[in-house]
Structure 1
Amino acid sequence: MFSIYILTYNEEIDIAACIESAMLSDDIIVVDSCSSDRTVEIASRYPVRIFQHPFESHGKQRTWMLESIPVKHEWVYILEADERMTPELFAECEQASKNPDYIGYYAAERVMFMNHWIRYSTQYPRYQLRLFRHGKVWFTDYGHTEREVCDGATSFLKQTYPHYTCSKGFSRWIEKHNRYSTDEARETLYQLQQGTVKWRDLFFGQSEVERRRALKDLSLRLPARPLLRFLYMYFLLGGCLDGRAGLAWCTLQAFYEYLILLKVWEMQHIPIPNLDTKISQGGESEPEAHPTSEATL
């Protein structure tokens, strides 16, 4: 058995289905970022533990969660509210947690968009570290999201999980990515000024995660990024095979890339006084599920 963390913020639409999918575990912990909707009310109907903590960033929220909340089991799994645990994935996690050779495992998502699995243009299988031994993994901030730091060897799970990226509607998706693009613009400037491309990982990385991250760092330095991202996703990855949903997905991702470039230009040429203060007061870094910014160019 392993404990399951569920991260939430204004997730009244998804939280019930998410908790119900996780109830194979006997220790479910809802970590809420002070939601203003009915998330906590709905979650309290289930046999779960609920903790609230003001959101600062994805990395800091996970760090607080891991350091401050006691868990029943040695192994833990992180689940976002718009994701689901499947019985097959749960069974594999149980078996994997018995292996003393690894301290963590990556699981691949299946992006669900417009009632369709976006199989091709999301660079499937795209992995996230989800199952790990408590105390052996921590997180740091990267752009709008986070990256894990592991104290030990990791491996990969075969089973996948569904990720309903647009379950709250297109308006919420666009609002969310407008906020995310601000953090991504900051990270772009930082990487261009101080970061490097790990060329060895790009061509000879030992895992999909290493190759994807090197590709992400390279993409920040390419011209016409929005157009390149669309062409890469729609034609090279095969997004055209995902039908109408695939076309919409690739178009929105290119639009997201264009927003990042616009904000990079804005930060370079039109500095906004007290931007960090305005962001923290206005909730710009809303703790919602991640877009697939690292999945493609």
Structure 2
Amino acid sequence: MVDLTAIILTKNESKNIVDCLKSIKGFAKRAVVVDSGSTDDTIEIAKNLNANVYFHKFENYARQFNWAIDNTNIDTKWTLRLDADERLTPLLCKELEQLMEQHDNDDVNGITMEAWYYFLGRCIKHGGSKKRKLMVFKTGIGRIEDRKMDEHTILSTGRSVATKERFLHYDFRNIDYFISKMNWYATREMQDYFEFLENTSQDKLNDKSIGETRKKKFGVYYRFPIFFRSWLLFIYFYIFKLGFLDGKEGFIYHYMYQRWYRCLVDAKIYEQLLTNKPFEETGDLKV
């Protein structure tokens, strides 16, 4: 067991929380669950699996996670950012333990990981869907960027290294949930776009790869004509990045995410340009 606290944000995650907590059993010294109003038995399950449960009203992901960092009495050397629908594998836990021991007293203050993403029961292996992010950091050095969308962990000092092993991401429940979640994300994505235009969302990333991806989104993707760009994105990922190799599940995923979701974001951007209505807090995802 390593000197690490895992922070998991939840709301109605009874279907996920068991496997999530079991995946870090024997690895993380402590598991902290911050719940934002579950009406199922998420809290009871988490307590039965020896997690420390806290409650905090949800504003956005970044503020919720940063609240957890500041208010759950973390005294371990390392902190893990883990979503309820994510799992660590035994091989990944072993690699993380080695990396944390190796970099215990140097300037490596974060560890970045990629995901295997599962959609409709199938692992999406093609089309750039690995969802890379910095998930482990030395306590007191990492925080989440306070932005509406595409928030990442930033380090106040030092650098990060990457694992070879990947974590498992089971974000998909069913099509109805996926559509609701994409609609919720699209509102936040639209707000993030306008905040970028107004220069209110400043990048402080130490991760060059994520920084380059964000530059491509705002510096390249959004320069293409509205609505037309979502078609280009779908063609790029589905054809040129070989998304079609993942069969029907790959088609549904890439069409819904690259084409439909990005078109929905554009529709919300267009609506905002027409109405200029004040932004409203999107709150927690309603499920």
**TM-score over 0.5 (shorter chain):** yes
1:295 paired residue number: none
Using the alignment, how far apart are the partners of 2:109 and 2:279 within structure 1?
A: 39
Using the alignment, how far apart are the partners of 2:139 and 2:286 within structure 1?
A: 22
1:79 paired residue number: 82
Among 234, 239, 243, the alignment partner of 2:238 is 234
3-state SS of 2:87 partner: coil
Kindly indicate whether residue 95 of structure 2 is the aligned counterpart of residue 92 of structure 1.
Answer: yes
Alpha-carbon contact 2:135-2:153 (below 8 Å) kept = no
Using the alignment, how far apart are the partners of 2:12 and 2:241 within structure 1?
A: 33
Shift of 1:211: 2.4
Shift of 1:185: 0.7
Using the alignment, how far apart are the partners of 2:120 and 2:248 within structure 1?
A: 9
Alpha-carbon contact 2:113-2:134 (below 8 Å) kept = yes
Report the residue type matching 1:5 in the other structure. I
> Number of matched residues?
274
Using the alignment, how far apart are the partners of 1:133 and 1:62 within structure 2?
A: 15
Using the alignment, how far apart are the partners of 2:123 and 2:208 within structure 1?
A: 23
Alpha-carbon contact 1:59-1:145 (below 8 Å) kept = no
Report the residue type matching 2:233 in the other structure. R
Alpha-carbon contact 1:137-1:149 (below 8 Å) kept = yes
Shift of 1:47: 1.2
Report the residue type matching 2:85 in the other structure. D
3-state SS of 2:33 partner: strand
Kindly indicate whether residue 201 of structure 2 is the aligned counterpart of residue 191 of structure 1.
Answer: no
Alpha-carbon contact 1:123-1:237 (below 8 Å) kept = no
Report the residue type matching 1:286 in the other structure. L
2:7 paired residue number: 5
Structure 1 residues 145 and 65: CA distance shift in structure 2, 3 A: farther
Report the residue type matching 2:124 in the other structure. I
Structure 1 residues 143 and 275: CA distance shift in structure 2, 3 A: closer
1:112 paired residue number: 118
Structure 1 unaligned regions, length at least 5 = 289-297
Using the alignment, how far apart are the partners of 2:150 and 2:37 within structure 1?
A: 19
3-state SS of 1:220 partner: helix
Structure 1 residues 268 and 227: CA distance shift in structure 2, 3 A: same
3-state SS of 1:23 partner: coil
Using the alignment, how far apart are the partners of 2:168 and 2:147 within structure 1?
A: 24
Alpha-carbon contact 1:192-1:220 (below 8 Å) kept = no
Using the alignment, how far apart are the partners of 1:245 and 1:27 within structure 2?
A: 36
